[in-house]
Amino acid sequence: MDFTYNLSLKQMRFIYVILGKISVSTGDNIEDLKESFKTLFCQENNLEHFSCSPYEPNAITQENASLFIDFLLRQAEELGVVVW
């Protein structure tokens, strides 16, 4: 049997840290950014829309959350946003 686990709380927090840094830098609403980036990520990776909350039934998996974090870090870099 193949088990998949929802993203961890640590992954969820890191996603919001990155989004927060981008939001502060660009002045864009964090929720709007999240939805835009999720849509783009899903399109690029042929995934269904997902939640960034581990408590939701459609939560992203830990593996895909890692990919989404990498995606967000690349987006931040392209926008010139310093995350670290």
Across the chain, which distance is largest between two alpha carbons, in Å? Answer: 45
Residue 4 pLDDT: 76
Query: Which residues, including other chains, have CB under 8 Å from residue 54's CB and lie 6 or more apart?
Result: 6, 7, 8, 9, 12
Dihedrals phi, psi of 25, to nearest 5 degrees? -70, -40
Quick: pLDDT tens for 1-56. Answer: 456 789 999 999 999 999 999 999 999 999 999 999 999 999 999 999 999 999 99
Residue 84 pLDDT: 82
Q: Does pTM surpass 0.85?
A: yes
Quick: pLDDT tens for 54-69. Answer: 999 999 999 999 999 9
